[in-house]
Amino acid sequence: MKIFVTPNNGAAAPILVTGAIGDYGTTLMIDKKGKTDPDGNYIKVTLHKGSFEFNATTLNAKANSSRPTFYKATCSALDSVTGQVTAFNGTGPYKEITGTLSITETYAFVSPLSTSGENKGQCNLSAQPISQYSSITGSGTVSF
């Protein structure tokens, strides 16, 4: 199974799944009790044919301890982290889903320069990036 997620600034994001599952839908970051939580360690995957969840605790721990590579001369940065997620709690045709996927999260951005004050001409990391890119991809073996 391969997954492709287009992250955004909220708890939900579109997902496309290929391979053992050919389906699409949305992801939602949740806590252990199933409540929406943008910082949650679990992911609810709601597809057109059914749903399941991922335990992303291991992946999130790696992502939270990772530090981007920053290029001061160009005000640009990138970060990529890979970790494991496990599938469980399926519904519909995915009712008995089990398995592990290796997920890679990638993020890059270019920051603007400060236009005034003592930091004029320096990277302004507190401002919105001029441009940014992010993706979440992964693959692994599942059964259901």
* pLDDT tens digits for range 36-72: 999 999 999 999 999 999 999 999 999 999 999 999 9
Residues 62, 65: Cα–Cα separation, whole Å = 5
Task: Check whether 30 has a pLDDT greater than 90.
Answer: yes
Q: How confident is the model at residue 6 (pLDDT cuts 50, 70, 90)?
A: very high
For residue 90 the two structure tokens come to 């399926």
Residue 8, pLDDT score: 83
Q: How confident is the model at residue 9 (pLDDT cuts 50, 70, 90)?
A: confident
| Radius of gyration (C-alpha) of the chain in whole angstroms | 18
Proportion of the chain above pLDDT 90, given as a percent: 95
Task: Check whether 108 has a pLDDT greater than 80.
Answer: yes
Q: Which of 50, 56, 51, 73 is nearest to 7 (CA)?
A: 56
